[in-house]
Amino acid sequence: MPSSLPLRYGANPQQAPARVFMKSGADLPIAVLNGLPGYINLLDALNSWQLVRELKSATGLPAAASFKHVSPSGAAVATPLPDILKKIYFVDDLELSPLATAYARARGVDRMSSFGDWIALSDIVDVSTAKLISREVSDGVIAPAYESDALVILKKKKQGKYAVVEIDPAYESPALETRDIFGVTFEQHHHDRSVTRADFANIVTQNKDLPESAIRDMLIAWITLKYTQSNSVCYAVDGQVIGVGAGQQSRVHCVRLAGVKSDLWRLRQHPSVLNLPFRPDIKRPDRDNAIDQFLQPDVTEAEKANWKNVFTESPRQLTVEERRAWLDGMSDVVLGSDAFFPFRDSIDRAVRSGVKYVLQPGGSNRDEDVIAACDEYGMTMVFSGVRLFHH
C-alpha cells in the first residue's frame, strides 16, 4: 500500500492540491482497487469503517453502514429481514447473504439520505452484496477484502469509475491524533474506548426491564453515535438504526429530526404506501422521492398535480388520525443520545415514536426530571456515564 494518495481536490473543487498521507512515512492502511475516491469520500470511508468494525466486534454479526457527509444515514447488523421490509427496501427480488442483509437494512431505512452514499462493510464482500450495491446510486465502498467475482461486479459500476477501497483490518490508529484548523494543530488521544455491555449496567428508572434485543439495539445506537457528528441522537430497533439526528445545536431538535425519520420509516410500511399505484417505468430513486412527498402532511395542490407523472391515479393521503394510529403500532424502540438530556422535552417527543428504552450518559442538573418523565411512560433508561461527542 502507498504512503501517499493524491486527490483531485479537497472538500471543494477550489481546494487543490489535496492528498492523504501518513505523517510517519509508513504505508497507508488503505488501497484503492478501482476508481478515484475524493477527500470527502475518504473521510466517510475511515469514519464508517470504524463504525462497522466496532459493530461487528460488539455483536458478532456482519455490519454495514451508509454514510453521507461524515455521518451515518443508516447502520445495521445482519438480522433476518421480514417480508415487509424486503419490499420497502426494494430487495424482495434478491437472495441476500448476511452481509447483504446488513447493507439492505442500513441503506433501506432512509433511502433518500443514502442516495449517493459511501458504504462500509465489516466482512469480505461477496457476490450477493456486490449485486445489491451495483444497482444503487453510491459513490464507493470500503471493506477488508472482496471476493474476486464481487470485485468484477463492482468495477463495472459507474462506467468503471466506482470507488472500491480495501482496508487492512489489522490497522490501528496511533494513540495520539492531530488535526489542523486554520493553521493551528489540535492534538488529542484517539477515541479508542470501546462500547461494551458494561455501559448498560446503571438502570436509573423504576422499570428495570432490559431484554437481550434492547441490549443489542443499544449497542448499535451507542456505536453509531460514536461516529456521528454531534450533537446527535439515534433511534434503533430490530438490529438497525431507523433515524439519525446529527449535527444539531439543540438536543431536542436532534430528537425531533431522528423521530421524524423514524416515523417515516414506520409509515412506509403502511398498506397505503405499499400499494401506491406507481407507473411501471418509475425508477427506485423517483419512487423514494414520491413516497417521501406522499407522506408529508402539507403537500400543496401544485405538488399533487405532478403526481400524474409518477402514479397511474392520484392516491389518497393518510389522514392525521390514520397516521397516528399506524405510528402507535411502533414499539420497543431504543433512543440513544451522545450526551445528557438537559430537559424532559426529548423524552416527551420520543414516546411518540415508540421509544421504550433510553440510553444516555447522564450528568444533567435536571436528571431527576428526565428520569421522572421516563417513569411516567414506563420506559427503561440507562445512564452509561460516557459522553460520545464526535467532531
Give 252-279 as a DSSP string.
Answer: HHHHHHHHHHHHHHHHTTSHHHHT--B-
Residue type, position 55, single letter? L
Asked if residues 226 and 195 have their Cβ atoms less than 8 Å apart, the reply is yes
Nearest-angstrom CA–CA distance, 355 and 11: 37
Q: Measured between alpha carbons, how far is 370 from 347 in angstroms, rounded to an integer?
A: 7
Q: What is the rounded distance in angstroms from the CA atom of residue 334 to the CA atom of residue 311? A: 36
H or E element in which residue 188 lies: strand 184-189
Task: Check residue 157 and report its DSSP letter.
Answer: G
69 is catalytic: yes
CA pair distance 101, 123, nearest whole angstrom: 12
Task: Verify whether residue 231 is a known catalytic residue.
Answer: yes
Query: Residues 34, 226, 231, 270: which is the catalytic one?
Result: 231
Q: Which of 23, 208, 283, 391 is catalytic?
A: 391
**Minimal CA–CA distance to 265: which of 156, 140, 114, 149?**
114
* Other residues' Cβ atoms within 10 Å of the Cβ of residue 45: 24
* 41, 47, 56, 68: the active-site residue: 68
Q: 265 and 90 in contact (C-beta within 8 Å)?
A: no
Paired strand residues for 358: 335, 381
Burial (0-12, 13-18, 19+ Cβ within 10 Å), 317: middle
**Smallest Cα–Cα separation from 49: which of 148, 229, 171, 211?**
171
Spatial contact of 326 and 270, defined as CB atoms under 8 Å apart: yes
- Residues classed as catalytic: 68-69, 231, 391
